Structure 1
């Protein structure tokens, strides 16, 4: 009974008015990205004839642009592989997509802190490119390339200019940052947003935005609530000495343990944030925390099964080993150089 009460208390402590408002704004921002960002403009850079440096660059930040999660990235990964995307950019996309999901990054900053938030974003981008390049070096020679670039040309209509879209997203981001701490600024930004929507957006676009936001919230909020509840339960049942013993310091062993744990556990979108936060409260070192945040969203047992069907067993095992090993190495390096 006390364990269940710990889970309930975690929900009560977490779901403050300020956090609920931040959550709502974050969902609207993510819904806007999903609705108004040009997916066609992104996907065309994964074609077999695209310049590789552009493919890797776009793939490494695609999670923020496409607002993909660990579940939706798999069919997209399978699709671009089937259409002829090189294994390097495709794997970069596979890793980076869920690793820098907008909602996950926002709540890493909000709940775990700015230091680990920045480390997660930058490390995920760099690591995704390294993993993609290594996979390309190892397996690109055996690739069968379909040169039909037209399969990647997805046309999307957008009557607004790039700067109008940029202003819209900057205002949304400003509202998220100001939040409830600066109510006057938030009101000013909100009024500005209303003006921008009135001037540049059609009614149907706004309805589509609300619909996409609702779809995201419907999928993720229940999982997130479960994640917060589980985090409270874990805090109650895991002894602090256990956490300190295995991942309480910044060694290569503790970082690899965190990487392996993250790789084989299933973290639904956003649930890794409250769970990892509870591990930190129990004594988990920041280096292993980063290793877990890097490996966790990109891998899980269900994820591995799907990837193996797309890439084959050998390539999948290589990918898993690269993710676990490099996540552990990055956690160790950042723990020694940045987290202290």
Structure 2
């Protein structure tokens, strides 16, 4: 299997080695001593530089941090996650207001060079885990995300939940897959309780676009990346996904990522949500921005008991929030 993976993917190391394709809460049960608390506080101060915004402050051990991972964009510009009109502005407001999740328990994650020091969107996301350029492959961004999750949370006994939009879902998927398979440069483990992907091209994009990024090329149907992603034992629902509750969300009005691709049709996940016959209301960005009306959507959904349909379905942001923060079959 390892030899086959190497043949399909090439090296799983970073771009400097020329990789061409695809290169995981417990509750404290003893009272800590004053000395231990002081030591932990000192360590937190030393590590503070890893999280440029106060929003990424530590949370209690029994409360997973929710990471929000954005989708494809222009690497030189980066992404505005938090500001007015930003990628996650509506979601942050809804998750905090209607969802009751404190803002310091949510971390928006960037990975483009435009979010790094000196970039046009420096500081507009809570953390920047990579400095991807137009030539950076998805698997290399995924490696950086995986190491961030391991170093910041998993290695400290903490877990995370992940809500991802568009390409961010592929970055998340490959981060967990590469970790599970022990790819070069990936961490030993990731503790991820829930993953919810919205409008993610699990089977490729449908929009035809003249795009100058390696990432977009990888998302085009028939790419070596997608072929390898769907290799034997690598589908969602296969053994490598054990320990994480997976939900995929799509819309038939999405003209960037088709309904079938977003819900990874033909492959098993713990839950699937598919918005159908809602006109043009729920497009690609609508899956991460629409919060109301809260119960007014035609929605197909799948869980352990099979396929269902409702005409009183959740708004997309309610679906994304519940899928990313709750285990099991709590469907509408």
Rg larger in structure:
1
Q: Name the TM-score class by shorter chain.
A: under 0.3
Q: Which gives a bigger RCO, structure 1 or 2 (Cα 8 Å, sep 6+)?
A: 1
Q: TM-score, normalised by structure 1?
A: 0.24
Q: TM-score, normalised by structure 2?
A: 0.25
Q: Greater share of strand residues, 1 or 2? A: 2
